[in-house]
Amino acid sequence: MTIMKAVRQDLSEAQRIGELHAASQASGPAGAAHPVIQVLSANKIFPNGTQALDAVDLNVRQGEFLSLIGPSGCGKSTLLKMIANLIEPTDGRILWWNGGPGRIGSEGSRLAFVFQDPTLMPWARVDANVRLALDLERKATSMSDTDVAARIHAALDQVGLTKFARSYPRELSGGMRMRVSIARALIDQPDLLLMDEPFGALDEFTRNKLDLDLVRLSWERRLTTLFVTHSIYEAVFLSTRIIVMAANPGRIHSQLVIDEPQPRDEDFRGSPRFAQLCRDLSRMLTEASNAGSPQV
Amino acid sequence: MQDPRKFNPKTLPLIQQEWFQRVAAPVVVGATLLIVWQAACHFLQIPVYLFPAPTDIAHSLVTHAGLLFQSLKITLLVTLQAFALATLLGCLTAFLIIQSRFAEIGLFPFVVLLQVTPIVAIAPLIIILVKSTSLSLVICATLVALFPIISNTITGLRSVDPGLVSYFRMKRAGRLETLMRLQIPSALPFFLAGLRISSGLALIGAIVGEFVAGTGGQSAGLAYQILQSGFQLDIPLMFAALVLIAGLGIAMFFVMSALTHALLGHWHESAMKEQR
């Protein structure tokens, strides 16, 4: 039984990747691939009266790397948390794989969230921290120990931390802890990866290195990623599409499609095209900040 | 050949090794105090019934060994029972209080009431109400030891990394799962700090209860020996009982410290050895 199931899962996995290839070939990264998430005129007013978001419409498409960037207070984190179903919109709605929040976690529609902090359990070793994702999904109980161990190993391997499986989080550097957090997100084979300024607290060198790893990972795994960032360079380097948001109230200002070949590498970071795109994005951000405060 | 760049603390002379310093320093201070005490009693010719010398106390400890250790056993038993009961009740109350807002506002004032009412004031009442003396002593000691466990465990269960809370919520973890996997491990350092305070308080509660109850005979604890030796002006015996009580308290503190170290040593700052 279990073998049959596993085979079927593998098949659907293969089909999905196949579809993805077809979609990205047919329409390019900005084309009309399957919408994974549809945000339909969602707005959010917090109980204290702050309007965090005003009628936001957004589609996240299968296979794209979409970044949200904007001045602080533009609601980009709020939007991300809404999509993660951590907060509810005051008005409007969100569709996950054309369904309600009940679709999250069902077959072929898994969410993984990487927070700004690694949010690891300090009392548990790295492998146990990664395993938590399986434990909470109640998958570990239906899998054999060797399968679980293999999954943990594979997840740690993707972030280059297999040697540190038995370490405690406090023994790792900030960048390594963040990698563990990413491994915990990847072990569940998510269909959508949500990241909330994951590398914001790291130094630039570590951040660049992790960005490079993320580019490789999302290409290899054909991940659909929604990424919140403050950094223009990071957004341009990683994304296939960037949404620029404006504040007071939070809303979508404009978007920038980065139609560059994948997977990107250090050469792209040094290219004149990269510099040009950063300048464009910077200009858009300035416009968005100016538009954001009409009362001043 | 040994690599000179590698620092090996084991090659240091004994006097510079850390474990030796840790043991030696208190021993030296203690021995000095004892010598000064002994010398003062001897040269100032302080009578034994006023302030006995350390040798008098040691002598009394040996001659009354049977009596004292019987009492020690009884006090220890009351203390341990009360400590176990306080731990159990404390945890249950804390779990209940964090589960609902109503439980918190309903229960917490009474928890505080329990804490602020002096045990000497309630002890006579408990001793009258409860038929069995040993049970009434256990209740007294439990009441004294309860508060730090409740209050620390609540603080601990609440001081959970908010990011991890969001993660658990996103994974739709149930209450029990969140409690077991997240809140209890997060609360452990606070809980253990509470246990360390409560272990001492349980002993105090047991002694105070016995002072009030004044149980003699077969079930006489160390407090009764102190009372009794006071009546008989057998001050060395009083000191001997005191030494045993202090020893008991220190032993419990060490056990709790060892437990803390065993449970937290690998991850929590409070229990880790200083890195130099």
Question: What is the predicted ipTM?
Answer: 0.78
B186 min Cα distance to partner chain A (Å): 8
The better pLDDT of the pair A98, A16 is held by A98
Q: B188 at the A interface (CB within 8 A)?
A: yes
Contact B170 A122 (CB under 8 A): no
**Inter-CA distances, B227 with A6, A131, A169, B224, B234, Å:** 75, 59, 54, 5, 10
Does B181 sit within 8 Å of A132, measured CB to CB? yes
Whether B157 contacts B98, CB under 8 Å: yes
**Bond prior to A263 in cis (omega within 30° of 0):** yes
> For residue B11, what is the DSSP state?
G
Q: Tell me the domains of chain A and their CATH numbers.
A: 34-292 (3.40.50.300)
The pTM of the full predicted model, rounded to 2 decimals, is 0.79
Which amino acid is residue A136, in one-letter code?
L
Residues of A with a Cβ under 8 Å from any B Cβ are: 84-86, 105, 111, 113, 115-117, 119, 121-124, 132-133, 135-137, 168-170
B276–chain A nearest CA distance, Å: 15
pLDDT tens for residues B200-251? 999 999 999 888 887 666 678 899 999 999 999 899 999 999 999 999 999 9
Q: State the CATH class of domain B61-271.
A: mainly alpha
pLDDT in tens, A87-139: 888 888 888 888 888 777 777 778 889 998 899 999 999 999 999 988 888 76
3-state helix, strand and coil shares in percent for chain B, rounded to the nearest 5? 80, 0, 20
- Tokens (6 digits) for A249: 């109230």
Query: What per-residue confidence (pLDDT) applies to A72?
Result: 82
Please list every residue in chain A whose beta carbon sits closer than 8 Å to the beta carbon of residue B167. 113, 115, 119
Amino acid type, B270: S
- Measured CA to CA in angstroms, residue B102 lies from A57, B8, B96, B105 at distances of 40, 58, 10, 5
How far, rounded to the nearest angstrom, does the alpha carbon of residue A256 sit from its chain's CA centroid? 18
Interchain pair A168, B266: CB under 8 A? yes
Residues B84-132 have pLDDT tens digits of 999 999 999 999 998 888 888 888 888 888 888 888 888 888 888 888 8
In chain B, where the domains are located: 61-271
Pick from A121, A138, A197 the residue to mutate for testing the B interface (most B CBs within 10 Å): A121
